[in-house]
Amino acid sequence: MSDAPKGAGRAGPDLRKRFYKAADIIPAEGGGWSVVLDARPLRTPAKAPLVVPHQALARLIADEWGAQGARIDPETMPATRLANVVVDRVVPHQALIAAELAGYIGTDLVCYRAETPAGLVAVQCEHWDPMIDWARRRFDIHLVTTTGLLAVDQPPETVERLTRAIEAVDPWRLSVLHGAVTTAGSVIIGLALFEGAIDAETAWAASQADEHYQISRWGEDAEQTERMTFLKRDLADLARIRDAINAG
């Protein structure tokens, strides 16, 4: 998932023509599920078999392929993209990706507050205080907030417990968590969405609290609004993929 607009400027003829009639899922040899296009199993961009451990997620991927028109647009296939990333990148590099996410703990969005104006302070408190309260209850941690420009050190116990929570996640869920954290710019918001403590709309509103305040004061900027729209879509896609994984 990315904060850049998806498929911006892509012309229809540049997309690959649909080369199959039907998409379905079948049990994979050795366990899991394969997505098949006219009975031929999908492979990842690195040519590895695309085997999914969760039937509901495999069905979601197959539905993405089935919904394509005359041309295939990868930007309309978030579950397929995530599955490719899991197989090609996350499984062989899981520890590195978990460490990357843990690195966000020290610069978490919800811990860095404005001193003024009062309206912005209020908006940040409205959206971010519930996130901090949830994390405190869920992980038994204390998060240090600041209004300064310099980074603050979180308590070692906080870093350790959040890091352990990230490291305990399997590769498929780790990819969802990675997308949520990087899209929201916050480990805390990402974890809350990942664990189902908040929905995608709440995660998006919290991650864009500053932007919403600026828009309320100065009006909409077309480029900013477009970016926020794509972020909202990404978080909704991640929540849907999360639900498919959890459904088994």
Q: Which of the two residues, 11 and 92, has the higher pLDDT score?
A: 92
* Mean pLDDT, range 10-25, rounded to an integer: 83
- The topology (CATH level 3) of 93-247 is ATP12-like fold (1.10.3580)
Helix/strand/coil for 35: strand
What tokens were used for 53? 């451990």
Express each pLDDT in 64-84 by its tens digit: 999 999 999 999 999 999 999
Q: What is the pTM of this model?
A: 0.90
Express each pLDDT in 122-176 by its tens digit: 999 999 999 999 999 999 999 999 997 788 899 999 999 999 999 999 999 999 9
C-alpha distances in angstroms, 136 versus 129, 133, 157? Answer: 11, 5, 12
Residue type, 41: P
Report the DSSP beta bridge partners of residue 36.
24, 41
Domain residue spans of the chain: 12-92, 93-247
Distance, in Å, from the CA atom of 190 to the CA atom of 180, rounded to the nearest integer, reads 5
CB 183 within 8 A of CB 207: yes
CATH code for the structural domain at 12-92: 3.30.2180.10
Asked if 12-92 and 93-247 have one fold, the answer is no
